[in-house]
């Protein structure tokens, strides 16, 4: 398959075309403080973006310069990103939850010249590392007014005013910049976890997004009349690609990045589609099931019956078989009494959900399917601007991630690794030629680090992972090795540590303690003479280790923190198959052999 020609040469042009085609149509819907939602048209968005783009030019931002955004998912994030695009610059994305040292690294590594910062909390991280940020000339504050009156931090209103002033003298400044952008120019630098713990900047060109927009338009998925609910972090490629799809297709997006508001908001906004990491579906499922279980009695019995009817119908549908009349009648009743109420929790109008970023458990997908809720799983990574393969409305298979996007080639290497080639593959890791050469081969294929297979009908299934990174069910990457190394460095008693969390909603650790060191501690703490096994099981030793884990956690990003741990009563050994002969941890074997202990850390 060959690459499709992208519709527009740049994101800015795609946006410009959308504003012209749909000026009076609703582009975004944003929450107000009184709980209502305000509609914003493409035309209004175009004006705001134009002012801020001119403001950036007035600040001295040149074509190709990097401008960073440190903010949660909200309308202003999108406007800032589009303004950066229209100024011919490139966006560096930073999660608002990223700790100050990593923020400083990302901004310095990317050479970002201007930073949009959500509030003073974000600005404080910048001030704390200002010495390391000589390139950052101006910080633009989205909310509130700067605490220090030092000209380094200006408000977004100031930026718009500078833009307005520039437009009076140079009315074509922004249009000229847009005309100058070519498809290979850098659009976005997204930082992703490296196995060493240092984030790597993924360089995505303009055509990565225009291709994604174009390819997603060709699928049997989103329509112009859809209402998307968007909460995913826009610092991540999965969130970003939804914006590209929106520009290309023209649907409306309700934006609110507050994760705790998703269910409540969905009932009000009543979207027709939403993308999420599997964690959200796990949570929704758990909430529904535990509520019903707590009620017990006839309600629970009815629920169980309705779900079993739903499951029978779902299995038949998935097998392409007819639903017999009696079952269809039962299903109508089950739907009216129970299943429709599950759908009503999401507003009742959802045509489909998209799950991506981490593996969706097939059981969960089946459970929702039985309730008439379609979750279409997709697959991709930051290095290919997120969209690699996806299930579609008219062709989906649970347990797979669907077919490659039109214009994306996927092949499986001899060792099972998924290789991917498309116009949206990154041009490389920023300033990391060796790592780029490892990820991109001479034929332009991206080596994904994932293991997979293509079935006879062309559906891709992700079965395993080659890279030494795992993902939580929230879709956050964790590099276990650096965390383990740091724990060993912080705590003199820990001899081995295995951080776990693949597909789980938080990280935990299996630890072993050095018997000699612990004996010494016990002697000084009134526990002399106890056996090692007895000591590691004691609350005193647990508290001792907890103190060190807390110390480590304070230095980690939130999603990397070790929420619980278990101390084994013996060391991991080569003989037990837990270590390689060179004493490296066999991560998967350790997890398999200690499955019960790990599972216990996830029981509430
Ligand atoms: P990121 O760059 O953060 O988007 O992470 C990309 C990685 O997430 C992929 O290389 C996979 O390891 C994982 N991933 C994304 N989608 C899926 C999926 N549907 N099933 C399993 N793993 C996935």
Token couple for 450: 């994932």
Q: Quick one: which of 384, 18, 354 has its CA closest to 211?
A: 384
Between CA 589 and CA 581 the distance in angstroms is 14
Q: Which of 271, 287, 318 is the last residue of a domain?
A: 271
CATH number at residue 185: 3.40.50.980
Same domain, yes or no: 509 and 533:
yes
Same domain, yes or no: 252 and 312:
no
Same domain, yes or no: 69 and 179:
yes
Domain count, the chain: 3
Between CA 256 and CA 235 the distance in angstroms is 14
Residue 1 lies in a domain: no
Q: Whose CA is nearest to atom 15 of ligand 1?
A: 357
Q: For residue 365, how far is the Cα from the chain centroid?
A: 19
pTM, 2 dp: 0.84
Backbone angles phi, psi at 148, to 5 degrees: -105, 135
Residue 496 to residues 486, 573, 574: CA-CA distances in angstroms? 11, 10, 13
Average pLDDT on 339-346 reads: 95
Residue 236 lies in a domain: yes
Residue 4 lies in a domain: no
Same domain, yes or no: 434 and 536:
no
Residue 364 lies in a domain: yes
Same domain, yes or no: 264 and 283:
no
Same domain, yes or no: 266 and 309:
no
95 CB within 6 A, ligand 1: no
Exposed/middle/buried for residue 204 (C-beta within 10 Å: 0-12, 13-18, 19+): buried
Same domain, yes or no: 417 and 340:
yes
pLDDT at 194: 65
Same domain, yes or no: 473 and 425:
no
Kindly give the number of the ligand 1 atom that is closest to the alpha carbon of 386.
4
Q: Quick one: which of 418, 579, 555, 554 has its CA closest to 497?
A: 579
Kindly give the number of the ligand 1 atom that is closest to the alpha carbon of 202.
2
Cβ of 478: how many Cβ atoms within 10 Å?
23
pLDDT at 259: 87
Token couple for 93: 């994305």
Model confidence at 583, in pLDDT bands (50, 70, 90)? low
Residue 239 lies in a domain: yes
Q: Which of 448, 466, 484 is the last residue of a domain?
A: 466
Same domain, yes or no: 253 and 310:
no
- Residues 52-80: tens digit of each pLDDT: 999 999 999 999 999 999 999 999 999 99
Same domain, yes or no: 512 and 394:
no
Average pLDDT on 480-484 reads: 85
Between CA 221 and CA 235 the distance in angstroms is 24
Model confidence at 587, in pLDDT bands (50, 70, 90)? confident
Could you tell me the residue range of the domain that residue 290 belongs to?
A: 276-348+350-466
Q: Whose CA is nearest to atom 1 of ligand 1?
A: 381
Kindly give the number of the ligand 1 atom that is closest to the alpha carbon of 377.
19
282 CB within 6 A, ligand 1: no
Q: Which of 252, 271, 290 is the last residue of a domain?
A: 271
* Partners of 409 in the β-ladder: 421
The average confidence (pLDDT) of the chain is 93
Q: Whose CA is nearest to atom 9 of ligand 1?
A: 381
* Partners of 30 in the β-ladder: 38
Ligand 1 pocket: which of 195, 358, 403, 473 to mutate (most atoms within 8 A of CB): 358
Tell how far the Cα of 334 is from the centroid of ligand 1, in angstroms: 35
Residue 547 lies in a domain: yes
Average pLDDT on 239-248 reads: 97
Kindly give the number of the ligand 1 atom that is closest to the alpha carbon of 465.
12
Examine the pLDDT at 451 and tell me if it is beyond 80: yes
pLDDT at 179: 97
Q: Whose CA is nearest to atom 7 of ligand 1?
A: 381
Q: Whose CA is nearest to atom 22 of ligand 1?
A: 358
- Residues 196-216: tens digit of each pLDDT: 667 899 999 999 999 999 999
Between CA 289 and CA 304 the distance in angstroms is 10
Exposed/middle/buried for residue 489 (C-beta within 10 Å: 0-12, 13-18, 19+): exposed
Residue 2 lies in a domain: no
CB contact at 8 A, 519 and 525? no
pLDDT at 366: 95
């Amino acid at each position: 398959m060959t690459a499709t020609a992208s519709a527009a040469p740049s994101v800015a042009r795609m946006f410009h075309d959308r504003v012209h085609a749909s000026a009076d149509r609703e582009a975004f819907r944003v929450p107000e403080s009184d709980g209502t939602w305000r509609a914003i048209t493409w035309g209004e968005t175009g004006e705001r973006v134009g002012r801020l783009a001119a403001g950036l030019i007035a600040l001295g931002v040149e074509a190709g310069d990097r401008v960073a955004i440190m903010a949660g998912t909200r309308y202003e994030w999108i406007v800032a990103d589009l303004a950066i695009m229209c100024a011919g610059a490139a966006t560096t994305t930073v999660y608002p939850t990223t700790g100050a040292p990593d923020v400083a690294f990302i901004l310095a590594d990317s050479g970002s010249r201007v930073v949009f910062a959500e509030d003073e909390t974000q600005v404080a991280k910048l001030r704390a590392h200002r010495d390391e940020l000589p390139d950052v000339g101006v910080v633009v504050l989205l909310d509130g007014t700067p605490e220090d009156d030092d000209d380094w931090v200006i408000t977004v209103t100031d930026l718009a005013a500078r833009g307005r002033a520039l437009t009076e003298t140079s009315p074509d400044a922004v249009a000229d910049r847009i005309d100058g952008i070519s498809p290979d120019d850098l659009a976005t630098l997204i930082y992703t976890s490296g196995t060493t713990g240092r984030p790597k900047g993924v360089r995505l060109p303009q055509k990565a997004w225009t291709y994604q927009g174009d390819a997603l338009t060709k699928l049997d998925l989103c329509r112009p009349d859809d209402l998307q609910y968007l909460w995913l972090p826009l610092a991540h490629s999965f969130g970003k690609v939804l914006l590209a799809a929106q520009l290309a297709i023209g649907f409306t997006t309700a934006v609110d990045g507050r994760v705790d508001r998703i269910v409540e908001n969905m009932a009000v906004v009543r979207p027709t589609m939403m993308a999420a990491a599997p964690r959200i579906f796990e949570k929704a499922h758990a909430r529904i099931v535990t509520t019903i279980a707590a009620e017990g009695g006839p309600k629970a019995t009815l629920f169980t019956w309705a779900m079993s009817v739903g499951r029978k119908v779902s299995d038949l549908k998935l097998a392409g078989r007819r639903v017999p009349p009696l079952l269809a009648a039962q299903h109508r009743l089950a739907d009216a009494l129970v299943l429709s109420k599950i759908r009503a929790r999401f507003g009742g109008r959802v045509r489909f959900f998209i799950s991506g970023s981490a593996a969706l458990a097939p059981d969960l997908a089946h459970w929702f399917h039985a309730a008439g809720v379609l979750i279409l799983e997709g697959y991709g990574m930051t290095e290919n601007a997120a969209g690699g393969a996806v299930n579609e409305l008219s062709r989906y298979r649970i347990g797979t991630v669907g077919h490659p996007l039109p214009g994306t080639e996927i092949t499986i290497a001899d060792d099972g690794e998924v290789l991917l080639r498309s116009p949206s593959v990154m041009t490389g890791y920023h300033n990391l030629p060796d790592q780029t050469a490892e990820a991109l081969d001479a034929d332009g294929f991206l080596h994904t680090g994932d293991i997979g297979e293509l079935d006879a009908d062309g559906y891709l299934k992700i079965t395993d992972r080659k890279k030494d990174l795992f993902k939580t069910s929230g879709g956050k990457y964790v590099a276990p090795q650096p965390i383990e190394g740091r724990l060993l460095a912080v705590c003199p008693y820990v001899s081995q540590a295995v951080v776990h969390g693949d597909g789980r909603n938080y990280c935990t650790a299996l630890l072993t303690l050095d018997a000699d060191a612990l004996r010494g501690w016990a002697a000084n703490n009134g526990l002399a003479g106890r056996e090692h096994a007895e000591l590691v099981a004691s609350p005193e030793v647990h508290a001792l280790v907890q103190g060190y884990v807390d110390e480590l956690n304070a230095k980690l990003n939130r999603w990397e923190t070790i929420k619980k741990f278990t101390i084994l009563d013996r060391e991991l050994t080569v003989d037990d198959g837990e270590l390689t002969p060179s004493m490296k941890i066999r991560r998967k074997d350790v997890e398999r052999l200690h499955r019960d202990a790990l599972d216990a850390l996830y029981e509430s």
